[in-house]
Amino acid sequence: MRNAVRQYLSSIGHLGVKIALLTRMTSHGPVQQLIFDLAPEQFADEPTYQAFLQSLGWFMPQHYIFGSMDAEVMKGHLQALKIE
Pairing of strands 29-36, 66-68: parallel
Residues 6+ apart with CB under 8 A from 8: 55, 56, 59
Instruction: Catalogue all structural domains in the chain, each as residue range(s) with its CATH number.
Output: 2-80 (3.30.70)
Sign of CA dihedral 6, 7, 9, 13: positive
- 43 — phi, psi (to 5°)? -120, 160
pTM of the model: 0.74
**Tens-digit pLDDT profile for residues 16-61:** 888 888 888 889 988 888 989 888 888 999 999 999 999 999 988 8
Please give the distance of CA 21 from its chain centroid, rounded to a whole number: 10
